[in-house]
Chains A and B, each alone.
Chain A
Amino acid sequence: MRRRLLPWRLLVVLGLIVLSVLVVFPVKGRIRLGLDLRGGSHILLECVDTPEAPVDEDAVRRVVEIIRNRIDQLGVAEPVIARQGERRVLVQLPGVTDPQRAVEVIGKTALLEFKDERGETVLTGAHLKNAQVQFDRLGRPVVAISFDSEGAKLFAQATTANVGRPLGIYLDGKLISNPVVQEPILGGEAQITGRFTLEEAQNLAILLRAGALPVKVEVIENRSVEPTLGRDSVNAGLRAAVIGIILVLAFMVLYYGSFGLLADLALVCFVLFFFALFIGLQATLTLPGIAGFVLTVGMAVDANVLIFERIKEEYRLGKTWRASIDAGFQKAFRTILDANITTLIAAVLLFSLGSGPIKGFGVTLSLGILCSMFTGVWVSRVFVDLFADRLKMRV
């Protein structure tokens, strides 16, 4: 029965190989990389209560909105901004090269205040229409701001009332500039000169344009990887995987001879099918995910080891070659199933409970185990049946 179906089974294997090759190649750009491999920032923010501004539903919603605005202005491609639970906001910024700057821009409250000599707030950033970086006559970066109509009115009043006196400009309660008003400013435009570096001025302009956060926001988790470090990790992981696969291929041939070659063929199928599935499921590869994959490479041939050892034993008992092969596959299957189920329990757990990079480990390990059971048992059976009569294992 099995042998009559052999051409069909071979066709299925070849079909899967062709399909996988089409899915996997060219590899470049097909595998989605996690932030730890492509570089970027994973930032978790939490809105916290302050006496002046307790957190409510509306505030959190506005925080998300304002942060989205700020990130848009940072020019990050494909950012993720998502609310998590009641008070948390998750921000993912792929490819960010300067995570410290990103965090500064995202997490700052950015409340702009103008205070007169007595320390009374005469105007806030809520009335801003625009903010832009310009340069003064000495070429120093300044932030030019313009107010909306109401703001312009308030600003005119404040400057009129304070001619000859300083009007302090505060950001989040910190004095950034303390210019003396020379004459009333009626046009609703002003400049903040705060001895900024260009980057500081740019950050401030972004913050002012996007508006102040309604409540205090704290960074409670930040995992950032510089893109070049991510690339180094990919290269190191890839090198380890390739050498690992070569070692296993060599071991199987050295130990099991031509049968090892068949196991190697199945292992190549495993790698191919694994990545085809991985890409097909649009899974994300992370650094621990690479480790999980490397681990399953070794586990993938375990099935073949168990089967071949069993075949040897059956043959030693005096069975015919074909009967030994049948019995070997059949009897080893139970053990293979058992062996994989316990590891699968751990893998699925990590996949469902874990977050971020470690989830990637669970994904590659689970996928690898499932895929390796298929290639280790079913696919390698096809190869063995195909060549069984021509090959002999040293027993």
Chain B
Amino acid sequence: MEFIRATHINFMGVRRIAYVLSLVLVAISLGSIFFRGLNYGVDFAGGTLLQFRFGREVTTEELRNVLGAFGLAKSVIQRFSPNEVVIRTTKLSQEDQSRLSALLKEQFGSAELLRIEDVGPAVGADLRRMGIIALLVAVGGILAYVAFRFEFRPAVTSILALAHDGLTVLGMISLLQREFTIPILAAILTILGYSINDSIVVMDRVRENLAGRKRSEELEEVVNRSINEVLSRTINTALTTALPVFSLFFLGGKMLQDFALAILAGLAVGTYSSIFVVSALWVDWEKRSPRRR
């Protein structure tokens, strides 16, 4: 079976459309991140998360009534199943946690406490700092590697693509108001690392083909030829990585679902950007101010 064979797709011909699409994606993402904000989980925001399994089905309304009576009307309720819920509140003291459990037990027959995530403000601040450091060091490390590995211009366009990919995934998390937790941060770091991979595959081939380029061949043609040549590996590597992550998304349990979603989005946008952002921007740059080779 062969899906992709000797394609001749004119990628560069539609790069203007791709620019618009990318700008819209990034604009929506930035807009969402700034205006809608990130829904920080207890890892970063601090607070208390309790997961209960009740003896019977409990509606969100019933639960909200009980929480309201407890002064926790504003807490976030997430349903895992008809009788399993996650309640996220501001930081509760030990006594309040015990009292809440007792109250829920009394109201709903049984309330088995399955999970506690309780993070105080000091620890939340530590984790935020750790997250920012991890992100900065990762970006720094990748920049250093790209600077060492690429020529200047492909390096710049690859970094732009990396920002594009990271922002789009972060924007999706914000737009869907998924919790921004440590695993999501890990997913984004992984995506940043992965985003560069595809750029390398494409730009390496461009460089290779540029060396043996015919005089008559336009820059766009060289890039198109390069992308088409590596298309099956670009798509197949993304696909083979995506397959197990799909499995994780559907079968891996609720707690890994958002992580899997972020990775899948990152794979999709990373593959797209390596084709339409990295090389296209490079082409326009080279055309505007050609460098002598």
Binding site for B on A (CB under 8 A): 41, 44, 46, 99-100, 103-104, 107, 218-226, 228-229, 232-233, 236-237, 239-241, 243-245, 247-248, 251-252, 254-255, 287-288, 290-291, 294-295, 297-299, 301-302, 305-306, 309, 313, 334-335, 338-339, 341-347, 349-350, 353-355, 357-358, 361-362, 365, 394
The answer to whether A225 touches B114 (Cβ under 8 A) is yes
Least distance between A224 CB and chain B CB atoms (Å): 4
Among candidates B186, B204, B247, B251, residue contacting A350 with C-beta atoms closer than 8 Å: B186
A107 cross-chain contacts in B, Cβ below 8 A: 94
Given contacts A219-B94, A287-B256, A335-B204, contact A295 B237 (CB under 8 A): no
Among A103, A290, A342, A354: residue with most chain B CB under 10 A: A342
The answer to whether A298 touches B145 (Cβ under 8 A) is no
The answer to whether A236 touches B193 (Cβ under 8 A) is no
Among candidates B137, B232, B252, residue contacting A291 with C-beta atoms closer than 8 Å: B252
Some 9 contacts from A to B, beta carbons below 8 A apart, are: A222-B118, A233-B253, A237-B252, A240-B253, A251-B240, A302-B241, A334-B204, A335-B201, A354-B182
Among candidates B130, B197, B230, residue contacting A353 with C-beta atoms closer than 8 Å: B130
Least distance between B187 CB and chain A CB atoms (Å): 8
The answer to whether A338 touches B200 (Cβ under 8 A) is yes
Q: Which residue of B lies closest to A267 (CB)?
A: B240
Q: Mark B90-134, 1 if CB is under 8 A from A, else 0.
A: 000010011001000000000011111111101100000010011
Decide if B194 is an interface residue (CB 8 Å cutoff): yes
- Main SS of chain B's interface residues? helix
Knowing that A237-B248, A295-B241 touch, tell me 19 more A-B residue pairs with CB under 8 angstroms. A41-B116, A46-B120, A219-B120, A220-B120, A225-B115, A236-B256, A237-B252, A240-B253, A244-B244, A251-B239, A251-B240, A287-B256, A291-B248, A294-B248, A298-B241, A302-B237, A342-B145, A353-B137, A357-B182
Q: Mark B63-104, 1 if CB is under 8 A from A, else 0.
A: 000000000000000000000000000000010011001000
The answer to whether A349 touches B2 (Cβ under 8 A) is no
Among candidates B189, B236, B255, residue contacting A233 with C-beta atoms closer than 8 Å: B255
Interface residues of B, CB < 8 Å — how many?
66
Q: Give the complex CA separation of A290 and B94 in angstroms.
A: 31
The answer to whether A99 touches B116 (Cβ under 8 A) is yes
Least distance between A166 CB and chain B CB atoms (Å): 26
Least distance between B7 CB and chain A CB atoms (Å): 13
The answer to whether B236 touches A240 (Cβ under 8 A) is no
Given contacts A240-B247, A287-B256, A343-B197, contact A252 B123 (CB under 8 A): no
Q: Give the complex CA separation of A297 and B196 in angstroms.
A: 19
Q: Give the complex CA separation of A232 and B256 in angstroms.
A: 12
The answer to whether B117 touches A223 (Cβ under 8 A) is yes
Mark out the residues of chain B between 216 and 264 whose CB falls within 8 Å of any chain A CB in the assembled complex.
Answer: 229-230, 232-233, 236-237, 239-248, 250-253, 255-256, 259-260, 263
Q: Give the complex CA separation of A299 and B82 in angstroms.
A: 36
The answer to whether A343 touches B194 (Cβ under 8 A) is yes
The answer to whether A221 touches B94 (Cβ under 8 A) is no
Decide if B211 is an interface residue (CB 8 Å cutoff): no
A347 cross-chain contacts in B, Cβ below 8 A: 190, 193
The answer to whether A244 touches B117 (Cβ under 8 A) is no
Among B130, B200, B236: residue with most chain A CB under 10 A: B236
Decide if B273 is an interface residue (CB 8 Å cutoff): no
Decide if B149 is an interface residue (CB 8 Å cutoff): yes
Q: Which residue of B lies closest to A335 (CB)?
A: B201
Decide if B142 is an interface residue (CB 8 Å cutoff): yes
Q: Which residue of A lies closest to B194 (CB)?
A: A343
B20 cross-chain contacts in A, Cβ below 8 A: none
Given contacts A225-B114, A349-B189, contact A291 B200 (CB under 8 A): no
Q: Give the complex CA separation of A233 and B196 in angstroms.
A: 32
A358 cross-chain contacts in B, Cβ below 8 A: 182-183, 186
The answer to whether A243 touches B247 (Cβ under 8 A) is yes
